[in-house]
Amino acid sequence: MKSIINNITLTLMALSLIACDSVDKQTISAAADDEEIITDSKITSTSQLVAPKDMKFISHKSIKLAVDITNQGGGPAYLSVYSNYQHADNNSWEINHDSRILASSMASSQVNHDFATPQHLKKLLVQIWFYDGRSPLTKEVEISHEINLSW
């Protein structure tokens, strides 16, 4: 009985593979009728590509972040910037800590950083953690070329 089931299973698997192969050949021949297929003999180089004049090839946004915590009594502190987070109940944030795109210590009350973010991001979450146990400062900001934060 076991060998009959194994034979049936192997037969069904073989038929499935044959069916997949014929579907791929049909797809390729249908695509060949509609448009030109690039083969190894027709390799296109980057210099041959044509793009619309208004297309931007920049995949990131440059940001200048300036943070001032003088009014909070200054540092030392630790700065973190996150891209993946959600506003939670009770005025707190749920943060994916793997999404941190900037991390820096703040030895003084002011710090400046230049960094880049992917184009698809619209907002960031900036957090300041104090070493002396004060509550962290958190602010959501819209991404722009220059971001100035004072607490």
Listing DSSP states for 20-73 in one string gives HHHHHHHHHHHHHHHSPPP-GGGPPPGGG----TT-----EEEEEEEEE-GGGT
- Residues 72-85: pLDDT tens digits? 888 799 999 999 99
More confident: 22 or 93: 93
- Residues 97-140: pLDDT tens digits? 999 999 999 988 999 999 999 888 999 999 999 999 899 999 99
**Does the pTM exceed 0.75?**
no
Are 147 and 65 contacting, i.e. CB atoms less than 8 angstroms apart?
yes
pLDDT of 20 > 70? The answer is: no
Domain regions of the chain by residue span: 2-48, 60-150
Does domain 60-150 fall into CATH 1.10.3470.10?
no
pLDDT at 88: 87
Ranges 23-27, 52-56, 104-108, most confident = 104-108
pLDDT at 70: 92
Give which of 61, 95, 102 is closest to 81, Cα–Cα. Answer: 102
pLDDT at 10: 67
Residue 115 has which token pair? 């960094």
pLDDT at 95: 94
d(CA 39, CA 33): 15
pLDDT at 1: 63
d(CA 42, CA 30): 19
Mean of the per-residue pLDDT values for the chain? 81
Residues whose CB falls within 8 Å of the CB of residue 110, separated by 6 or more in sequence, listed in order: 66, 67, 68, 69, 70
Q: What are the φ/ψ torsions at residue 66 (nearest 5 degrees)?
A: -120, 125
More confident: 34 or 12: 12
d(CA 127, CA 112): 14
For CA atoms 87, 91, 94, 95, give the dihedral sign. positive
Q: What is the largest CA-CA distance in the chain?
A: 81
pLDDT at 36: 53
pLDDT at 89: 80
